Chains A and B, each alone.
Chain A
Amino acid sequence: MSIVDDRNDTDGAVAVTAATAATAAPAEPGAAGAAPPPVPLLHVEGLRVSFAGTEVVKGISFTAYAGRCLAIVGESGSGKSVTARTVVGLTGAGSEVSVDRLELGDRDLSGLGERQWRRIRGKEVGFVLQDALVSLDQLRKVGHEVAEPLAVHGVGDRRARAAKAIELLESVGVPEPEVRAAQRPYELSGGLRQRALIASAIALDPPLVIADEPTTALDVTVGAQVLDLLAASKSRGTSIILISHDLAVVARLADDVAVMKGGEIVEHGPVEDILRNPQHAYTKALLDAVPSEHTRGTHLVRPADGEEKTVRSRRPVDRGRPLIEARHLVKAFRGPDGKDREVVRDVSFEVFSGETLGIVGESGSGKTTTARIALALTPPTSGEVLLRGEPWSALGLRQRRPARSRIGVVYQDPLSSFDPRWSVDRILADALSRGPRPPANATEARRRSLELLEQVGLGHGHLTSAPLRLSGGQRQRVAIARALAPEPELIVCDEPVSALDVSVQAQVLDLLTDLQDELGVTYLFISHDLGVIHHMCDRILVMKDGEVVESGGADEVFDRPRHPYTQQLLTALPRLEVAR
């Protein structure tokens, strides 16, 4: 009954969005081009979803057209994934759904039972989820999983389905489809799994495909291939609803964009309008927050009062003797076959005091292993690391221990890097005690912990919190405070923002640059995200299969890539071309 009451409050807003939705696409001449006006396929009006009395989708309306892609953009908790699931009848247990109109073609989908939904899923609507490893049954062969929709809808016999599965895998660009069909999902790489999932979603050629963060778990080049697949499907007349937090991905595939925040659509329109001329403050902030070559040297978060972004005031980089120097690093691991496999091959670099060196590469490129060698958490098989010209990796455990505080580290997943029994005060006090000026007593430890929290933009109230109770961004701030506590000269950041929403990522990146400007900290910054790397780094190493394939100044590498792999990476990178 509360839902009914709420409906009256926002009715005006809903009506407006619905009107935009209905008129936006056909009125957009550029996107439609010479093609006939788009045919509406899915109508959603006044969709509300609540869990245990909390409304997470608050009366939204949108339309998806055949042969077009509608992107629903938003951050964690915006309600975009719940929306996608509701449209295929998978809202989940304990949910309450109400909708004024939910039609696919001329078919009414509102109030369908599970049995009826099953007849529609796969046949009328395909669903591609973010994590293919979870979505595919680990114990069944990939071929069976791909042909599952055919089996469910009773298409063909066993043999025909097996043949069709191979055909489908081939159509999504899986090499050696016969071999892959006989393997199980865990034997496939992430990219292949995601393609198998797409093959399954399009097996019955459904007119509507819903893709929930289809590229988020993938490397850039693989992600680009997946986007191309979806684009090909779109050009054959399939309607695609793309759920994403990544505006660059959206720019590459979408025709229309709906920006969601707090369960409502705050802005809706053709992709060019939204990206180039955003109206809503939230959309503007989202676009601002995307790190790229345009944002170098500025803050990502616009000040509340200012129109222009603030520019960094950098300290000069000391180009004398390098702070840390890696010489011909090699790291080999013994494989199960008894052969040594080199995951890092002849990697050399130097980092000067006050600068940021970025290491960019896809998963398995050896960038994290390189970082671990720099941190002396794993010894190199050959080669060495020097700290201020003195042996570092070659030191014995005991001699190195007192000097460890000179290099700090920030991990991708801060939560797992905190002892689950410890609260923030204990984490910081412990880190302070390892520095060159350990606090003399508990009072001093507390005072300096509070200073650290202020430095990373957290309140005094967070001192006694358990990390588990903090948000992802706050946790990463605590991790940065911990890294700063022993006053290190170098901080190794291993994918520090990869698990964060774009606006939180922007805040954390701004924090890191501010700290560099204030304290002169040096960063060894590792990321798979080329935009983040370009925004943050002075110089870059591009790694592939354990080797440095290209290195140089950030602009130089990004503007004039020499190595084919770098060129390939940059072509694959979905870019956000917006008026700035």
Chain B
Amino acid sequence: MSALAPSLRLPVVGLARLTALRARPSTVLALGFVGLVVVAAVAPGVLTDRSPTAIDFPSALAAPSWSHPFGTDEVGRDLLTRVIHGARLSLGIGLGATALAMSIAIVLGFAAALAGGIVDTLITRVLEVAFAFPALLLALLLIAIFGPSATTQVIAVGIGSAPGYARMVRGQVLNVRQAGYIEAAAALGHGRWTVIRRHLFPNAMRPLVAVVTLGVGQSIVWASSLAFLGLGIAPPNPEWGALLDAGRLYITTSWWLEILPGLVIVVFAVSVTTLGRTLQRRLEGAGR
């Protein structure tokens, strides 16, 4: 064993390095697409000089062509331009929902793991109930109370996905708390909070970075489904889910209104997931 281990492990690590440097084609494609979406969100003007709200009745409901790659909607607005301009809000909802979910998860997960005892039991039980509760139903409930808006979407999706993350955070904290370096830091005379801040938190959260990346794509899909049901932002807004909602009426005659924005959502979610997986692999490789 002793002699075998180093000789075997070294080439394996070397191999991982090589593939990481060269990067798989899927990772490159995913990175490219996510990059494009980020550019669209930050500076849509770079990608198109048209206006997402420019009405042009003569060319209403035009099929995809060279002048309108994604076709046009019922009032002749260019669909590609709308998708590009919608990226900011969609991405914002995705990131916001994930950030909210992670914040709730960190508070609950750390509280449960560090307090232990009755607090842990209580939080764990609540999380289990919340986990079992259909997220869509929860979202509907919140929207019924607060009315449909981007903020409600963020809150609904955020709260809906928090229990899953919270369980992961709790598990990570319990795991890292056993680590030798936590005891070593205590033996050096560091205080409890210093140990948590400097060792426990960063090391417990490190593997979750990849999970969060996966979560952003997931959140956008969720937010879009809410919008598709008419529970998101009102239709004139080019948010991706709202585009789906607006196109619903013409689904039998103008396929591009549903298929193309839908495809963008799917490809974006797949791209983010691909990046998340790559990140996960690399983080696991770097840790032990």
Contacts and interface: CB of A to CB of B under 8 A. Distances in A.
Nearest to A49: B7
Nearest to B5: A76
A434 B3 contact: no
Given A375-B187, A418-B181, A430-B188, A94 B11 contact: yes
A411 interface: yes
B180 A417 contact: yes
Contact of B288 (A82, A212, A420): A420
A537 B103 CA distance: 52
B107 interface: no
A80 interface: yes
A320 interface: no
Interface in A288-338: none
Q: Which 9 A-B pairs rank lowest in CB-CB distance, beginning with the nearest?
A: A404-B189, A416-B180, A417-B180, A52-B11, A76-B2, A81-B3, A417-B184, A419-B181, A434-B188
B11 A377 contact: no
A164 interface: no
B190 A92 contact: no
Interface in A78-96: 78-82, 85, 92, 94
B181 A51 contact: no
A420 B186 contact: no
A131 B4 CA distance: 14
A167 to B, nearest CB: 30
Contact of A431 (B188, B198, B202, B206): B188
B202 A402 contact: no
A473 B183 CA distance: 21
Given A94-B11, A416-B180, A418-B181, A81 B187 contact: no
Contacts, number: 97
A404 B187 contact: yes
Contact size range, A: 35 or more
B68 interface: no
B3 A419 contact: no
Interface in B1-30: 1-8, 11
Nearest to A404: B189
Given A419-B203, A434-B189, A81 B2 contact: yes
Nearest to A431: B188
Nearest to A372: B183
Nearest to B178: A416
B187 A213 contact: no
Interface of A: 51-52, 54, 56, 74-82, 85, 92, 94, 129-131, 212-213, 245, 375, 377, 397, 400-405, 407-409, 411, 413, 415-421, 430-431, 434, 468, 482, 486
Contacts of B206: 421
A85 B2 CA distance: 12
B1 A77 contact: no
Given A213-B1, A418-B181, A430-B188, A76 B6 contact: yes
B269 to A, nearest CB: 30
B122 interface: no
A449 to B, nearest CB: 15
Contacts of A212: 1
A421 B202 contact: yes
Contact of B4 (A81, A397, A413): A81
Contact of A51 (B1, B8, B180, B288): B8
Contact of B181 (A54, A56, A80, A417): A417
Interface in B113-145: none
A78 B187 contact: no
A125 B282 CA distance: 41
Contact of B199 (A131, A400, A419, A482): A419
A420 B207 CA distance: 13
A421 B200 CA distance: 11
Contacts of A407: 187
Nearest to B15: A52
Contact of B287 (A213, A400, A420, A431): A420
B227 to A, nearest CB: 40
B179 interface: yes
B7 A401 contact: no
B191 interface: yes
A209 B42 CA distance: 69
B184 A409 contact: yes
Given A81-B2, A402-B189, A411-B180, A421 B7 contact: no
